[in-house]
């Protein structure tokens, strides 16, 4: 019998491309991008440029559009959304500011969701183990719209964390974006109105928006406290290791 002819090994370019496109490499790239974005936010503080009226030579719908684009990039780069919402109201008023802020919110969520889905899902899905992680993944995968709607309505859940958790799950784009827009509307509107009425803090609109922000924050803290104690109570007690059996002492 003839010995089997060994197959030539793959080319160096093919092996390098497979290594670069592997799940771990893409996850490393995602971590590098997020670290770079966070560092740029700390160094340059882009929210100050937005709050100062950048760019000064534009007005009307063009300025709102540019603000929405800049808002989306800043939100994906971990700039706090309350600061951006207040800036939107101070620059454009309640109606136009809410339009730009809500569009920027959806854009920022879409950018983060895309990065997490393309670069992180394949590497992170095998790590979804354990009771709570599996339950959360199943909830987001099976009931994506209503789950994300509840997350956005709950002001205590960090914006970036919700984006990347949804990206790791099997949630689809359209339910994620629609739920983000609807669920973010009340809290975003409150901050935008507060920013628009910051010059008259005694006005009814400012007091109502500030009261909504405070009450929603207190409600979120109360729900989080109850859930935390409920999870502690429902958690199973750790199993005790069996010790050495002692023989009964006979009298």
Residue 147: closest CA among 155, 136, 131, 161: 136
d(CA 59, CA 211): 31
pLDDT of residue 50: 65
Mean per-residue pLDDT of the chain: 79
Q: Is 240 exposed, middle or buried (0-12, 13-18, 19+ CB in 10 A)?
A: exposed
pLDDT of residue 193: 95
Burial 129-150 (b: 16+ CB within 10 A, else e): eeeeeeebbeebeeebbebbbe
Q: pLDDT digits over 196-251, tens only? A: 998 888 888 889 998 988 888 887 777 767 656 544 554 444 445 555 555 555 55
Q: What mean pLDDT is predicted for residues 71-96?
A: 92
Q: Global pTM?
A: 0.75
Higher pLDDT, 16 or 211: 211
Q: What mean pLDDT is predicted for residues 112-121?
A: 86
Could you tell me the pLDDT band of residue 43, with boundaries at 50, 70 and 90? confident
Higher pLDDT, 2 or 187: 187
- 123-127, 132-136, 140-144: which has the highest mean pLDDT? 140-144
Higher pLDDT, 168 or 178: 178
pLDDT of residue 82: 92
Domain spans of the chain, in order of start: 22-230
Estimate to the nearest angstrom the gap between the alpha carbon of 215 and the chain centroid.
22
Could you tell me the pLDDT band of residue 57, with boundaries at 50, 70 and 90? low
Burial 10-36 (b: 16+ CB within 10 A, else e): eeeeeeeeeeeeeeeebbeebeeebee
């Amino acid at each position: 019998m003839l010995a089997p002819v060994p197959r030539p090994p793959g080319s160096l370019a093919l092996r390098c491309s497979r290594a670069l496109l592997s799940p771990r490499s893409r996850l490393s790239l995602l971590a590098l991008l997020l670290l770079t974005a966070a560092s740029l936010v700390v160094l340059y503080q882009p929210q100050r440029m937005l709050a100062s009226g950048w760019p000064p030579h534009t007005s009307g719908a063009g300025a709102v559009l540019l603000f929405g684009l800049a808002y989306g990039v800043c939100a994906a780069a971990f700039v706090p959304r309350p600061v951006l919402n207040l800036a939107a109201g101070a620059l454009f008023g309640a109606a136009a500011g809410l339009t730009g802020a809500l569009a920027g919110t959806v854009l920022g969520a879409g950018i983060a969701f895309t990065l997490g889905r393309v670069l992180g899902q394949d590497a992170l899905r095998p790590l979804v183990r354990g009771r709570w992680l599996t339950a959360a993944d199943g909830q987001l995968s099976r009931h994506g719209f209503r789950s994300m709607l509840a997350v956005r309505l709950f002001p205590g859940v960090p914006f970036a964390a919700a984006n990347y958790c949804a990206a790791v799950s099997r949630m689809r784009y359209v339910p994620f974006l629609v739920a983000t827009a609807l669920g973010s509307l009340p809290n975003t509107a409150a901050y935008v109105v507060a920013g628009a009425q910051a010059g008259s803090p005694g006005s009814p609109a400012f007091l109502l928006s500030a009261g909504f922000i405070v009450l929603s924050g207190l409600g979120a803290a109360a729900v989080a406290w109850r859930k935390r104690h409920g999870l502690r109570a429902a958690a199973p007690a750790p199993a005790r290791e069996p010790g050495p059996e002692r023989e009964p002492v006979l009298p």
